[in-house]
Structure 1
Amino acid sequence: MIQVFKGRKLYAITLIFAMLGALLPMATANAAYNLVWSDEFNGTSIDANNWSFETGTGSGGWGNNELEYYTNRAENARIENGNLVIEARKESYGGMNYTSARLKTQGKKSFKYGRIEARIKMPVGQGLWPAFWTLGSDINTVGWPKSGEIDIMEHVNSEGNTHGYIHWDVNGHATYGGASHAVDVTQYHVYSIEWTPSAIKWFIDGVQFREANIANNVNSTEEFHKEHFLLLNMAVGGNWPGSPNSATPFPAKMYVDYVRVYQDGVAPPSSGPIVSGGTYKLINVGSGKALDVQSAGTAPGTNVQQWTDNGTNAQKWTLYQNADGSYKLISVNNGHALDVAGSGTADGTNVQVWNDLGNGAQKWNIVQNGDGSFKLINVNSAKALDVSGSGTTDGTNVQIWTDNGSGAQKWTFVKL
């Protein structure tokens, strides 16, 4: 038994069994999931249908001797430029010397199994402790650790890695996990788990670094075969990171671009499931016209436009899901990928077809809108596939543009 300070309690880490725990830098994520829920943080305020706040100091600094007071103020949590911003501040509040925020989906959204991911960038500094994690939905009745806890991502101080852990009950607290491979947390990365009846696997940008065996409730892991809710927070101080010092930067901001949950074999509630390997036509909601390769061209660099739905191969696209959950769209007409010209990131950058390269300019996150349509967000630029000027005529150019929720950025997928 090894005593360490870590996580949300003073943990007694019991090394019970081999949990498939070696770093696994060559393993990549499963591509067989469909998006079932997401928060893209593109509104003007935090969505109360998805998130609630935990406030105050908790019991004993949330069980970890943390030093912050969690608030529900905009100073500590808000939507800003398409991100959830959680901001830790050095200020006197509620008898504490720091403030921050802690959000949860408890009672609103909960999940069992699937891929759970968030795209996050974080501050570094002594005493800072941002996290993306889950708790069992029955925590109010069974308590912790019988509820189970999955730490998808935790980062402390200025370390050049993150951590992934699980916590559960085996006649007392048990834990398993450890550090990731090297990563610059001050840049955006996708932190995720793949959670199945057999295992929990941890990934950064689709690259696996750890795995825990939970098959058949091995070693009393029944906590991981029930619904969990999600949490995002940034603690200040506590048993694991220790206290801030004079060099710790305040205010310290954690940016969350999105949170997404995918599940195997679950169809989005629209015109049918988006199937990796399926062929579709994409009809723009604003114009009623199809995503089209201009003049059925076959050369790399051929322009992409909208055109009256005519059923030709120039309007047929085969979708393949990438390891990171995004999709590439391959033109049936020419075998080229839907591509942002020059890997551009500016509003108005043209969309074309180009040789399939697998880069971010050819990766698209397909996100369901409330009306059942979809938006396609380019991974490289974080901007939406858009009909120029909300045009409705044949030949109107297709481009990328800041996500604004307009009909020009909404697409219906029709399976062929």
Structure 2
Amino acid sequence: MKRLFTSSKAYLFLLVLALVATLFPVGKANAAYNLVWSDEFDGTSINGNNWVFETGTGSGGWGNNELEYYTSRPENARIENGNLVIEARKESFGGMNYTSARLKTQGKKSFKYGRIEARMKLPKGQGLWPAFWTLGADIGTVGWPKSGEIDIMEHINNENNTYGYIHWDAGGNADYGGASQSFDPTQYHVYSIEWTSSAIKWFVDGVQFREANILNSINSTEEFHKDHFLLLNLAVGGNWPGSPDGSTVFPGKMYVDYVRVYQDGGTTPPPSGSIVSGGTYKLINTNSGKALDVSGAGTSPGTNVQIWTDNGSGAQKWTIYRNADGSYKLINTNSALALDVSGAGTSDGTNVQVWTDLGNGAQTWNITQNADGSYKLINTNSRKALDVSSSGTADGTNVQIWTDNGTGAQKWNLVRLQ
């Protein structure tokens, strides 16, 4: 989180030394990474194995003349509908006129290199400053800026963009970064960096907007070749955004759907029960050993869904997206159509098909993990389970909805493909 402004002299120094590798979108995030850690915020409380709170006003308003008092109260930070909610409130507390929260993984989780991302929805308002960032794990001994800092996402005031920066020590505070492309930050977006031994790249929704060269610690950037921990906070006021005014709406809420870390060669699987939003899967019925399949690889709305021998075709590949309320939709990769309950039916035996993606309850599914590691998919409209008719095992057996009964006909192994 931006601590100080770099002087124009320091900025010129950075330009001359060619820190910048590229300034505008040039590519997509590296698909070769494997998930090594995540918090999906699907529980009922903030996971103390992952996060600790920083509380109080910090030194000089956390070095930025911020105006909030950070607390660990549920009024300021809590789990709500599958999101971490950080809430800034206008209220007197601890001698300050605002409260909010600041969470960090210091002492719990730290990482060097990889793709670090979070899906978030941000508040707008004069004086509001949400951030997703890192600090070097050795900050307690070397201090800042020698610890290094990577600002994955910062947003200020009412702007229609975010910022990515790095801070480090080069005979004093040095920084590099800048603004993203224009978009609406009050909607959910994925903010990420790809951090390697040679560069740090910033992305919004997979589109790159900035890159910094750290190869061989060029320009004294050795701070970015060591472990960093993660932080999430919503500041109020400070040197950069300025103070709130009469137009600022309180409470301001920052919603974090998930935080994930991917690394090359990672071997740790996703946490039990977690589904990677945007990941492509095949769904194998545990009773029959056969895959959820679109009949005849059809691409027309209303094409039937069945089970069929696992053959790796697009008819059996489904991209799973997490909705804002924590439910999911499944999009068939071959047809780009959604897994759908025919006619939005609610009766046992109602047929399951593919249909144009409408975002309605007929296409919305709660996915939960069973004790044996398989999953059940419950349609949110009917409250009934995705089911193989009559527990059939033959190719072409129909898929329907049926009262949740825990049988193998309603259990699916989700196999991540990409």
TM over 0.5: yes
Residues 145/315 of structure 1: CA separation in 2 closer, same or farther (3 Å cut): closer
Unpaired runs of at least 5, structure 2: 322-329, 360-366, 393-397, 403-408
Q: Write out aligned runs for 1:57-76 (5 A).
A: 57-76=57-76
3-state SS of 2:37 partner: strand
Find the counterpart in structure 1 of residue 251 from structure 2.
251
The Cα of 1:257 is off from its aligned counterpart by 1.1
Q: Deviations over 1:30-51 (max 9, x none)?
A: 2222222211111111111111
Pair 1:117-2:154 in alignment: no
Residues 30/55 of structure 1: CA separation in 2 closer, same or farther (3 Å cut): same
Find the counterpart in structure 1 of residue 137 from structure 2.
137
Residues 232/204 of structure 1: CA separation in 2 closer, same or farther (3 Å cut): same
CA–CA separation in structure 2 for the residues paired with 1:346 and 1:122? 36
Greater mean alpha carbon deviation, residues 25-34 or residues 64-73: 25-34
Find the counterpart in structure 2 of residue 159 from structure 1.
159
The answer to whether the Cα contact below 8 Å between 2:310 and 2:316 also exists between their aligned partners in 1 is no
Residues 163/315 of structure 1: CA separation in 2 closer, same or farther (3 Å cut): closer
Q: Deviations over 1:68-121 (max 9, x none)?
A: 000000000011111111000000001110000001111111111111111111
Q: Write out aligned runs for 1:10-409 (5 A).
A: 11-12=6-7, 14-15=10-11, 16=14, 17-20=17-20, 23-269=23-269, 282-284=283-285, 289-293=289-293, 298-301=298-301, 302-305=303-306, 307=307, 310-311=309-310, 317=316, 336=335, 339-341=338-340, 352=353, 373=373, 388-389=384-385, 391=387, 393-394=391-392, 395-397=398-400
Greater mean alpha carbon deviation, residues 292-301 or residues 109-118: 292-301
Which amino acid is the alignment partner of residue 2 of structure 2? G
Residues 352/138 of structure 1: CA separation in 2 closer, same or farther (3 Å cut): farther
CA–CA separation in structure 1 for the residues paired with 2:151 and 2:102? 14
Which amino acid is the alignment partner of residue 113 of structure 1? Y
Which amino acid is the alignment partner of residue 154 of structure 1? E
Which amino acid is the alignment partner of residue 415 of structure 2? F
Find the counterpart in structure 2 of residue 8 from structure 1.
3
Number of equivalent positions: 373
CA–CA separation in structure 1 for the residues paired with 2:205 and 2:35? 17
The answer to whether the Cα contact below 8 Å between 2:376 and 2:410 also exists between their aligned partners in 1 is no
Unpaired runs of at least 5, structure 1: 1-5, 323-327, 360-366, 378-382, 400-406
Amino-acid identity (%) = 62
CA–CA separation in structure 2 for the residues paired with 1:346 and 1:34? 38
Q: Deviations over 1:191-236 (max 9, x none)?
A: 1111111100011111111000011111111111111111100000
The Cα of 1:284 is off from its aligned counterpart by 4.7
Which amino acid is the alignment partner of residue 283 of structure 2? L
The answer to whether the Cα contact below 8 Å between 1:338 and 1:351 also exists between their aligned partners in 2 is no
Find the counterpart in structure 2 of residue 411 from structure 1.
413
CA–CA separation in structure 2 for the residues paired with 1:346 and 1:225? 55
Q: What is the root-mean-square deviation in Å for CA atoms of aligned residues? A: 4.3
Which amino acid is the alignment partner of residue 7 of structure 1? K
The answer to whether the Cα contact below 8 Å between 2:305 and 2:399 also exists between their aligned partners in 1 is no
CA–CA separation in structure 1 for the residues paired with 2:299 and 2:130? 47
Kindly name which structure, 1 or 2, has the bigger radius of gyration based on alpha carbons.
Answer: 2
3-state SS of 2:20 partner: coil
3-state SS of 2:35 partner: strand
CA–CA separation in structure 2 for the residues paired with 1:314 and 1:94? 60
The Cα of 1:8 is off from its aligned counterpart by 2.4
The Cα of 1:167 is off from its aligned counterpart by 0.6
Q: Deviations over 1:164-183 (max 9, x none)?
A: 00011112211111111112
CA–CA separation in structure 1 for the residues paired with 2:149 and 2:375? 33
Residues 317/212 of structure 1: CA separation in 2 closer, same or farther (3 Å cut): same
Residues 372/264 of structure 1: CA separation in 2 closer, same or farther (3 Å cut): farther
The answer to whether the Cα contact below 8 Å between 1:132 and 1:153 also exists between their aligned partners in 2 is yes
3-state SS of 1:397 partner: strand
CA–CA separation in structure 2 for the residues paired with 1:82 and 1:350? 29
The answer to whether the Cα contact below 8 Å between 2:370 and 2:376 also exists between their aligned partners in 1 is no
The answer to whether the Cα contact below 8 Å between 1:135 and 1:230 also exists between their aligned partners in 2 is yes
3-state SS of 2:44 partner: coil
Q: Deviations over 1:115-165 (max 9, x none)?
A: 111111111111100000011111112111111100000011111211100
CA–CA separation in structure 1 for the residues paired with 2:114 and 2:255? 23
3-state SS of 1:62 partner: helix
The Cα of 1:339 is off from its aligned counterpart by 3.5
Greater mean alpha carbon deviation, residues 221-230 or residues 86-95: 221-230
The answer to whether the Cα contact below 8 Å between 2:193 and 2:202 also exists between their aligned partners in 1 is yes
Please, what TM-score do these two structures have when normalized by structure 1? 0.76
Which amino acid is the alignment partner of residue 385 of structure 2? G
The answer to whether the Cα contact below 8 Å between 2:284 and 2:292 also exists between their aligned partners in 1 is no
Please, what TM-score do these two structures have when normalized by structure 2? 0.76
Greater mean alpha carbon deviation, residues 227-236 or residues 180-189: 180-189
